[in-house]
Structure 1
């Protein structure tokens, strides 16, 4: 029987770190975290939810508009926010191998515990099944 993995705090830690780098308060981040796809909707994060998130308290998984808003507020690429959220809530690590092939993207559970040989095998599998390759 597989045991439950330890909780992940990827997004919580990223938000806390970036807030420190930018000198943002929870209130200020809540104000500037607006989804660029629907700017008229206003802020999508409350100060309290952001505070709970960074303190590693339970919060609901964010929606796509909330992730876009957080990317804007933290001045980070959306990809970084999405990857951190996927790791925290779903245990999925997104692996980009820009050295070998910048177009290959893998979503893998427990990637960090794999051997380098197993990681390379996954890379080869992904490249083999890429429909965009000639």
Structure 2
């Protein structure tokens, strides 16, 4: 574990539709690993990435792993900072009520500020 004085800020950006590639599972694995090692982890659902966490997904019949349970357990693994761009929801006709996990919205300016405070940014 890393103490809070040496922890880095890691931003994980999910910007792809769910089940389109194996990158979601890979991204979640990396995010959980960083969190387990005491890093300050933020998950940003951007663009089509907001569909990663919508309620009532049914990927049965698809060749990719169902990641819904992993998203549901993020808080158990210490991932408490989950955000999305307000515009990403609006452009897709979604609201926070459609998201299956606790999530906050940010303005474009706030997302820019978030990026500026990160030590590492990973995009999936």
- The TM-score range, normalised by the shorter chain, is under 0.3
Relative contact order higher in (CA < 8 Å, ≥ 6 apart):
2
TM-score (norm 1): 0.23
TM-score (norm 2): 0.24
Report which of the two has the higher share of helix: 1
Larger Rg: 1
